[in-house]
Amino acid sequence: MDFETIMLVKKKHIATLTLNRPEKSNAINRKMMEELGEAIEDVAGDDEMRALLLTGAGKAFCGGADLDIMPGGGDVKDLAELGVETLRRSFLFKASKKIILGIQQMEKPTIAMINGVCVGAGFDLALSCDLKTASEKAKFMCGFVKLGLFPGFGAAWLYPRCMGVTKAFEMLFTGDMLKAQEAKEIGMINKLASPEKLEEITLEMATKIVNGPPVAIRLMKSQVYRGMGSDLNAALDDAAVCESITLASKDHIEGITAFREKRAPLFEGK
């Protein structure tokens, strides 16, 4: 697929989706929102792809949102005149919901490779991924509070789950910058690397995942998120169903056979 504001490359079961407006710090404009929705749907439906890798071109991951995605082009007076109901049903929120849910609810594991500045809507985009790697030079910021805004791309749900409630409140209430090292220390980032090594360590993680059993991994992802809103009793009932599915899978037979033959398994997702 050909895009104007993003790039999508599929190779060795990994779909790499790159925000591609480096001259604008990969800020999200209307066209990018449209194309992200299309690309995410494409990857979700491609059975050859076992993981999604999301990153930014150039020195930034994403500098937030461009004004052109706002109703009326972002003119404050025009926004006030539109009214809450019209704003709520605008392209901005419909498209952002499609993108954030498309990533977070995708059956396949998703990895954000954060190569630089990651703020506002771009921060939410990164946190919607299951795993995050980051450059030592990466910086994170919410920033909505400084504009008198509530963060409309899911930050209030994503932050506490990715960094804990206390730090989430700090980021939301102050709009302060979070540096990469602290992000790693609080568990928001899985792996931290130099800019030169970031792609290498991220691809190493992604390759390990796509070489794993796709059925089991898809079930693990769904049950982790489902478990956040259920009790242990329900989780154990779900676990019985999910493990039964994998016990009856060809991947399980391959895993056991490979273990006995002392070789690496070749999982096919069946």
Looking at residues 182-198, what average pLDDT do you find? 97
> Domains (ranges, CATH) in the chain?
6-210 (3.90.226.10), 214-260 (1.10.12)
> In whole numbers, what is the pLDDT of the chain averaged over residues?
92
Looking at residues 130-135, what average pLDDT do you find? 98
What is the per-residue pLDDT across 39-70, written as a single tens digit (0 to 9) for each? Answer: 999 999 999 999 999 999 999 999 998 876 66
Secondary structure letter of residue 215 according to DSSP: H
User: Rounded distance, CA 67 to CA 36, Å?
Assistant: 17
Alpha-carbon radius of gyration of the chain = 20
What is the per-residue pLDDT across 88-108, written as a single tens digit (0 to 9) for each? Answer: 777 788 899 999 999 999 999
Strand duo 110-114 + 51-56: pairing: parallel
Nearest to 41 by CA among 103, 91, 130: 103
What is the per-residue pLDDT across 219-242, written as a single tens digit (0 to 9) for each? Answer: 999 999 999 989 999 999 999 999
User: Which of 71-74's residues contact partners 24+ apart within 8 Å by CB, and which partners?
Assistant: none
Percent of the chain residues topping a pLDDT of 70:
94
pTM recorded for the entire structure: 0.91
Secondary structure letter of residue 102 according to DSSP: H
Secondary structure letter of residue 164 according to DSSP: -
User: Rounded distance, CA 135 to CA 94, Å?
Assistant: 31
